[in-house]
Amino acid sequence: MANDKKVQSITDIEVDFAQWYTDVCRKAELVEYASVKGFTILRPYGYAIWENMQSIMDAEFKKTGHVNVAMPVLIPESLLKREGELVEGFAPECAWVTHGGGEKLEERLAFRPTSETMFCDHWSNILQSYRELPMLYNQWCSVIRWEKTTRPFLRSREFWWQEGHTIHETAEEAIAETEQQLNCYADFYENVLAIPVVKGRKTDKEKFAGAEATYTVECMMKDRKALQGATSHYFGDKFSRAYDVTFTGRDNTIQYPHQTSWGSTTRMIGAVIMTHGDNNGLVLPPKIAPIQVIVLPIAQHKPGVLEGANALKDRLVKAGLRVKLDDSDNSMGWKCAEYEMKGVPLRVECGPRDLENNQCVLVRRHDGEKIAVSLDDLETAVQEQLVLIQKGMYDKAKENLTQHTYEAHSLEEAKKLQSENGGFIKTMWCGDVECEKRMKDEAGMSSRCMPLEQEHLGDVCPICGKPAKKMIYWGVAY
């Protein structure tokens, strides 16, 4: 809590959550602001977290047959305009190139806000037969969206992401792909980032521009606000028709493939910060931490201490862990605060007395627990603690989600619950967009999703009193 804080240069969570978040992003050396307004520099430590996320996700994508490609960053305006809903949805956020080499271009080029158009244009040139389907593509890149209000990781004018784009012979195959990738994201959030999620379908008002259906994983942050974690979209054959993507089917007729897209971004780093962080800085899940274990020698000037600490580090590196030894001349207090700020999951302390007794002390970042272990059991003990840390972080976040999800049976009750508690409010819903708008206008909450795991909370919509069709989650979102 605030009075336990070791780092005075970050704002207390309880005082100003938004400022705390920004302070942690910069103090932990994740990002820095660039000279171009609305753009940030992803610093080495922040990029290392993204690299670990990318490595794990990329391996999972490849297990299901996806391959990586690279599309151009610029999109001709005429190409972008072919699918009306897409261009209408992204037009306010597009940045344009009008000159090249000092000369005015014949046609404006948009920096990609998303790449459906480029993939479709490519497929229209190469796809010929059903035998070539499915095409399962993924791209790791950055995109530009000219946001009015920016915040590190959560919303910036350029951000890093992956965008999957696939085409299939049948609607059933494309829908299965959409669901598969939604589950892939949910598994990543829960098993890697230690963040529980609510899986569901977006309303028509909130779905991706041009999609027939958008599915999402929704997360709850420590301040009880919602964050959209990742999305998976089913397009049907709408884009195929707009971009003349065709193939010869099994019956020798010309057909349009069914398409999906799905994406997750560096926003996931923001989710980790706001789900797990505290007044001493970052708290990183072991699976994505650039440094999983920090070895700190105590009284390192004394004979044998540095040698002993190096031997511990070498053993842990050999065991396959990401380990750092800090043998700088900074004080022990400074070192502890520094690596707590950076969220290193486990600290190994060893001093002269520890080494004499053939032991060291393990200190867990997420709860401060200290455990003395025999050096004979070092590798096993550290591995066990990292597993416990991962689980402990998930359990704590799950408790926050469970305790701050409320059931409401009237608009006034929903409004009161949100005002007093924050969190997710679940209600029944008639499906009418006017009720969705009214919830936003009167209670300040947007629809988060219609969860795949439906509950029956009643028979009528609490907003208008008409027969209810779905159970829905509402929340104040980033």
272-298 tens-digit pLDDT: 999 999 999 999 999 999 999 999 999
pLDDT at 454: 98
pLDDT averaged over the chain? 96
pLDDT at 3: 44
Work out the pLDDT band at 5, boundaries 50, 70, 90: low
Q: Characterise 281 by phi-psi region: left (phi > 0), alpha (psi -120 to 50), beta (else).
A: left
pLDDT at 476: 98
Q: 57 and 188 in contact (C-beta within 8 Å)? A: yes
d(CA 390, CA 190): 10
Task: Show the tokens assigned to 307.
Answer: 């040698």
**Domain covering 293-388 in this structure, CATH number:** 3.40.50.800
How far CA 280 is from CA of 50, 189, 235, in Å, comes to 22, 23, 44
Question: Which residues face 467 on adjacent strands?
Answer: 460
> Does residue 388 register a pLDDT over 70?
yes
The mean per-residue pLDDT over the stretch 328-345 comes to 97
Task: Show the tokens assigned to 420.
Answer: 């007093």
Angle at 173 between CA 169 and CA 178, to 5 degrees: 125
Work out the pLDDT band at 1, boundaries 50, 70, 90: very low
Q: What are the residue ranges spanned by the domains of the chain?
A: 46-276, 293-388, 405-475
> Does residue 9 register a pLDDT over 90?
no
> Per DSSP, which regions of 276-423 are E strands?
293-297, 323-325, 346-350, 359-364, 370-374, 405-407
pTM above 0.85, yes or no: yes
Domain 46-276 listed as CATH 3.30.930.10: yes
pLDDT at 2: 38
Q: 257 and 236 in contact (C-beta within 8 Å)? A: no
> Does residue 255 register a pLDDT over 90?
yes
The mean per-residue pLDDT over the stretch 138-143 comes to 98
Domain 405-475 listed as CATH 3.30.465.10: no
The mean per-residue pLDDT over the stretch 289-314 comes to 96
pLDDT at 8: 61
Work out the pLDDT band at 4, boundaries 50, 70, 90: low
Helix, strand or coil, per DSSP, at residue 394: helix
Helix, strand or coil, per DSSP, at residue 108: strand
> Does residue 59 register a pLDDT over 60?
yes
d(CA 152, CA 141): 17
DSSP 362: E
> Does residue 436 register a pLDDT over 60?
yes
Nearest by Cα to 121 from 161, 67, 167 = 167
Work out the pLDDT band at 88, boundaries 50, 70, 90: confident
The mean per-residue pLDDT over the stretch 79-88 comes to 82
